[in-house]
A and B are shown apart, each in its own frame.
Chain A
Amino acid sequence: MQDTILKDIRVVDLTHFTAGPYCTKLMAGFGADVIKVEKPESGDAMRGMGPFFENQEDPEASIPFLWLNTGKKSITLNLKSNRGKNLFKKLIGQADFIVENFSPRVMPALGLSYETLNSINPRLIMVSIANFGNSGPYSDYKADEMELQAMSGLMHLTGDSLKSPLCSGPSLCQYSAGQHAYLAALMALFQRETTGKGQHIEISIQECSLENIEISLTRCLQTGQGARRGPHMMVPWGTYECRDGYAAVIAMPYRHWHHAVDLFKEPALYQEKFATLRERIKHRDEYENLLCPCVKSYKKKTLFNRGQQMGLSFGYVADLDDVMQSPQHQARGYFVGIDHPVVGEHKYCKAPFLSSLTDWKSAEAPLLGGSNSAVYSELFEYSEKEIKLLAEQGVI
C-alpha cells in the first residue's frame, strides 16, 4: 500500500447534507482520520433523505449519505448538553481540523465559536461553510440547491432561451463548495507547516458558485454586457440528436475543423458563407439545419470515434449505464467495490485524480455511532461501562 497524504491528520467533522460532507469525504479518502460527530438518535439529516437502497427507508441505506461519508468514523454526541460540550472541546484539543456547515448562528450559539476553539487549540484550522456566508443581508436566508443555483447566476444561464431557467440535476453548488472547502483547508494546512498556527476559513456557497461563471460575470462587471441561457456562442458547439441518442459536435481544435468534410458529406455546409466561425455564428440556424441531418445519420459512439480519429474534439451523451460500462473507466480502475454491513457491496467512484506516490483510501460510510466504543475508549480512555452510561444519560 502506498502512502496517503493526510495520514497523520485528524478531522472533527460536524457537517451534514452535501457541501461539508463532500469536503470531509475527500479528507478521509486522502488518508485523514475523520471523526464525524452526529446527533444522537437521528444523525446527519442526509440519513433520512434518500433515495434509499432498494427504496427501503433506513438511516443506514440513504444513498447520498453512503456516497458522501465514505472512509469516516461516526460518533454520537449531544452538543447541547454541558458534558457533551466538554467532551467536544477535549476532542478539539486533539484535532487538526474542524469542518462545519451549520447556518452561521449555530456554532456561536453553542458556545463553540472560532475564538473559543482556537483558545483550546491554536493549531486548529476551522472550516465554516454557509449558503450565503456568515455576514450580509442573506446570511439567515434558507436555501436548497435550486435557490443556490438561482442566486449564483447559474440557473439564469441554464436551459432553453424560450423556456424558464432550469435547475441542473446534480447539486453543483453544494459540491462546488465542498471541493473549494477542501482546497482552502489544504492551503491553510500547508501554511501551518511554516507558521505553526491555525486559522478560520469562511466559505460562502454562493461565492464559490460564482466562480463557475467568472467570464460572464466579469464581462458584465467591466462592460455592462449581460448573458442569457441558450446555445453556445460558437457554431457548431453542442449536442445534436443522432440515431441512438445525442452526439457532441465541437468545432475544436479550430485548426482541425476542415477535416469534418469527410464526416458530414453535405456540400452546402462548405459554401463560402459558412467558411469562418464568424459567418457560421451569423447564419447559425441555416448552418445547423444542414448539419443536423448529417449528425442524425450516425450512431453516437461511431461519430465520437470517427471525429476523434480526425483530431476533432467530439463526444456523445452517455447514460449512467454507458458510464458504468465505460472501457476508459474500467482500464483506469475508476470504480471500486466497497462492502457495507447493511447494503452490501457496490461500485463507487474511487479517487478524483491519480497521484504517483500517494493513494486513495476506500472504505464504507459509518453506521450511526459506529465508532463510539473505539473513539471514546482510545481518545478519552473511557471503559465500556462508562460509555454505556454516557449513552443512557443522553450525552452520546
Chain B
Amino acid sequence: MGNQALQGIRIIDLSHSWAGPHCSRIFADFGAEVIKVEYVRRLCLLRGGRKDEKAYDKHVAWCQVNRNKYSVTLDLKNDKDHELLSDLIRSSDVLIENSRTGVMAGLGFSYEDVRQLKNDIIMLSMSAFGHTGPYASCSGYGAVMEGIGGIQSLTAYENSGKPLRIKELDITNGVAGACAVMNALFYRSRTGKGQHIDLSQLEAATHSLIGEHLLEFAMNGSCSLPTGNRHWKYAPRGCYPCKGSDKWLTITVRNQDEWQRFCEATGKMEWLTDKRFSNLESRRQNHDDLDMEITEWTKNKSPSGAMRILQAYDIAAAAVLDMEELVANSHLKKRGYFASVEDGEEKKIMGFPFSFSDSPGKVRWSGPELGFHNQFVTEKILGRPTEEAPSFSEDEVGTAFDPETE
C-alpha cells in the first residue's frame, strides 16, 4: 500500500453540525490533516446537550463524524484567537465553512480576507441556499432543503399521500462539498491557483437526487413519482411482511423472464397461467391481489431465508435490514467493512465508503475531546510558545441545547 491520497494537505474546518464535518471527515480518513475550530460557548450540536462528566466528549455522533480530526478552541471575536486562526490559514490548503451567508465576512474571514492571508487558498462555503439570490440569508437544516428542493414531494405511501422525508441530506451535501474541494485541489496542482466554492446545499442535493425527475417534469409536465413501494413500470414490486415483528422482504420483478423465474422460485407455477398475472399490464392492474398472494408466501419465512430462495433464481429480493442486523451482517463482515480505531480503543467503527488499491483509509482516533490539540496546534503547527495555547474553563462551556438533552 502506498501513501494516503490526501497526505500533506492541511484543512481548517470551521463547519458545524453534519454536512460540513462529514465532508472534512472523508479527507481526514484519507490522510489530510483536518484542524477543527471549536467555539467553547456554543459547541457543535453533534456534541449533544449534556455537560455532566464531559458527556460532550463522548457523544457517539461526534466521535464518528469528527474522527481523525484535531480540535482547537478559538473565540474568533477575540483578537488573539483571531490572529491564531489567521496564522493557521497562512499554512493551510483548504478552509471549509457552512455558516449562514455573511457570518464569515462578519468575523473578518470572507474569501477576500482569507485570500489576503494565503493567496492560493481553497475556500469551500456550503450554506443552505448559496451566497446569492433572495434566499441567501436564510438558514436551513435537512428538512428545510428536502422540502424546498422538491425532494420530499417524491416520496409517499400513495401518489397523493403525505410527502415523507427520506433522510438527512448531510451526506449528499458533504460528499458534494468534498467533490468541489478535490476539483479545486486538482486545478491548483495544474495552475497554482486557489478558488472559492459557493455551494448551495439546496442545489447540490437537488442535483444529486432528483435531477432526472425535474427533467421529467420540465419535459412532460408531470412526474411518475411518488408510487409508494410499487414501481411506475415494474410489477410486482413491494415490501412484504415476514415471520417476526417488523420483519420485511422487498421484491422487484423487472421483466417477463424474471416473472417466470419468480414463479419457479416460489413454486407457484399456477401464477403463470392466472389471467390476472400473466403479463406486466395485468400484474399492474391486479397488484393488490398479487400482493396478497405473495404475502401468503412470505409471511411464514424469515426475510433472509426468503431472500436466499429468490436470489438463487436471480431475482432482486432483499431483507430489510435494521441496525442490529447490519452490525451482524455476514457479507459486510466477510468484506472486512467494519474497522477499529488505531489508537488502541476497543471501539468498533464504520469503515470507508470506497477503497483504493494503493491508498488506504485509516482511522487513527475517534472524534477528539474539546480542545485536545490546543497545545499541539500552537507549538507544533504554529511554532508559538506553549503559553499562547488557547485554554478554557469548564464554566465557559455551553452546548447547542438544554444541558439535559442527549
Residue ranges of A at the interface with B (Cβ–Cβ < 8 Å): 3, 5-6, 22, 26, 30, 49-51, 53-55, 63-64, 66-68, 114, 132-133, 135-138, 141-144, 146-160, 163-170, 172, 175-176, 178-184, 186-191, 193, 195, 197, 199-204, 206-208, 210-228, 232, 237-239, 241, 246, 248, 250, 252-255, 276-278, 304, 308, 311-324, 326-329, 331-332, 334, 343, 346-349, 351-358
Q: Indicate which residue in A183, A201, A346 contacts B355 across the interface (CB closer than 8 Å).
A: A201
The 4 residue pairs across chains A and B that have the minimum distance between CB atoms: A315-B144, A169-B154, A331-B133, A186-B182
Q: Indicate which residue in A26, A165, A193, A319 contacts B239 across the interface (CB closer than 8 Å).
A: A165
CB closest chain-A residue, reference B184: A355
Q: Indicate which residue in B176, B239, B353 contacts A352 across the interface (CB closer than 8 Å).
A: B176
- Sample (19) of A-B pairs whose CB atoms are under 8 Å apart: A50-B233, A53-B220, A168-B154, A172-B167, A180-B353, A184-B356, A202-B357, A207-B335, A216-B323, A221-B348, A227-B322, A239-B152, A248-B147, A250-B141, A250-B144, A320-B153, A320-B217, A349-B211, A356-B195
**Least distance between B25 CB and chain A CB atoms (Å):** 9
Contact in complex: A164, B148 (CB < 8 Å): no
Which among B71-79, B201-209, B266-274 touches the partner chain?
Answer: B201-209
CB closest chain-B residue, reference A151: B318
Contact in complex: A353, B64 (CB < 8 Å): no
Which among B83-91, B279-287, B325-333, B372-380 touches the partner chain?
Answer: B325-333
Q: Do A207 and B353 form a contact, CB below 8 Å, given A316-B147, A356-B197?
A: yes
Q: Does B390 contact A (CB under 8 A)?
A: no
CA distance A372 to B207 in the complex (A): 30
Contact residues in A for B117 (Cβ distance below 8 Å)? none
Q: Indicate which residue in B6, B202, B352 contacts A328 across the interface (CB closer than 8 Å).
A: B202
CA distance A227 to B322 in the complex (A): 7
Q: Indicate which residue in A226, A237, A238, A327 contacts B324 across the interface (CB closer than 8 Å).
A: A226
Contact in complex: B215, A327 (CB < 8 Å): no
Contact in complex: B356, A317 (CB < 8 Å): no
Q: Indicate which residue in B143, B189, B319, B356 contacts A201 across the interface (CB closer than 8 Å).
A: B356
Contact in complex: A153, B321 (CB < 8 Å): yes
CB closest chain-A residue, reference B348: A221
Contact in complex: A277, B405 (CB < 8 Å): yes
Contact residues in A for B6 (Cβ distance below 8 Å)? 187, 190
CB closest chain-B residue, reference A146: B250
Contact in complex: A320, B167 (CB < 8 Å): no
Residue ranges of B at the interface with A (Cβ–Cβ < 8 Å): 2-3, 5-6, 18, 22, 26, 30, 42, 45, 49, 60-61, 63-65, 111, 128-130, 132-135, 138-141, 143-145, 147-157, 162-168, 171-172, 175-180, 182-187, 189-191, 193, 195-200, 202-204, 206-220, 223-229, 232-234, 237, 239, 241, 246, 248, 250, 252, 254, 311, 314-324, 326-327, 330-332, 334-335, 337-338, 347-359, 400-402, 404-405
Q: Indicate which residue in B5, B154, B217 contacts A188 across the interface (CB closer than 8 Å).
A: B5
**Least distance between B129 CB and chain A CB atoms (Å):** 6
Contact residues in B for A320 (Cβ distance below 8 Å)? 150, 153, 213-214, 217, 223
Q: Indicate which residue in B151, B183, B252, B355 contacts A202 across the interface (CB closer than 8 Å).
A: B355
Contact residues in B for A63 (Cβ distance below 8 Å)? 212, 215-216, 219-220
CA distance A3 to B177 in the complex (A): 20
**Least distance between B377 CB and chain A CB atoms (Å):** 25
Q: Do A159 and B162 form a contact, CB below 8 Å, given A142-B316, A186-B182, A328-B133?
A: no
Contact residues in A for B164 (Cβ distance below 8 Å)? 158-160, 166
Q: Do A150 and B318 form a contact, CB below 8 Å, given A315-B147, A317-B153, A355-B195?
A: yes
Contact residues in A for B138 (Cβ distance below 8 Å)? 308, 313
Q: Indicate which residue in B165, B178, B196 contacts A183 across the interface (CB closer than 8 Å).
A: B178
Contact in complex: B197, A355 (CB < 8 Å): yes
Q: A241-B162, A248-B144 are in contact. List 14 more A-B contacts (CB 8 A).
A: A6-B186, A144-B237, A165-B320, A169-B166, A186-B182, A202-B354, A208-B354, A212-B172, A218-B64, A218-B350, A220-B326, A238-B165, A250-B141, A254-B401
Contact residues in A for B154 (Cβ distance below 8 Å)? 168-170
Q: Do A183 and B163 form a contact, CB below 8 Å, given A237-B143, A320-B153, A328-B202?
A: no
